[in-house]
Structure 1
């Protein structure tokens, strides 16, 4: 049960303390419950989001352990702190991709991180891919994103940089 609380804190709450992100105290998560409920995330939903984040983090970690020079494309990253939770080695190139206004907000809330670049673009406007080198296996993380995209555009965004890369992974499921 403790790991569910930990994952919930990591997935849903972030505070800035001396320039570092640290999980908010449990009382802050409780204070956010009304806002989560307004967003349609009830008590079971917060646990489901935390569990999903935990499984994706674990799966991504296994991928990166096997391919330490990989590229991660975190599509629709929002305010997710995955790159900070996972703390990948410097050999991993990580790209957080989301709308420009979301990337701007991330820049105000989170300190920069070596090896992690942000790209302000719609994930379906594939021009952003020109900024991503194609020389390493890629892992595409699109947690909770594909539901909001049309099937063709969403699949194209996932597969575009992985199809020609041996050892790449893009599980494009809604």
Structure 2
């Protein structure tokens, strides 16, 4: 980097990486490269874009981060700070998971949902308190709150059997 700006490399050790100097230099670099500082609105748009276009085909946090940084470069936005990037990634993953869950549950028949609700309700008591709080914070209903019917089939051994087929979209 010292060669690019034609400065002795030893001077980088004494550079003040905090304060007004770095803020001024960053502003000059942004102006020179035609970039701008990110806004909260930019972060929201990035999260929406990730949830809609990238999360359905990519689960790796590192690849999501790489896609976000590439998108910032394309849009001429200075990448957000690391903590803000993590917030955007978390929001995008949460939005995608919520949309995926809602789409999947909407495709299930009422006959399939009732036994799932009974199974989940029994296991729900073993879930940590944090999982229940997270579900409530996201506004997700408990499986027992989904529409149900009392229709159950029996297998040859006389046990209750549920056949659940979910057709997922191709991405």
Same fold (TM over 0.5): no
TM norm structure 2: 0.22
Larger Cα-atom Rg: 2
TM norm structure 1: 0.22
Counting strand residues as a fraction of each chain, which structure ranks higher? 1
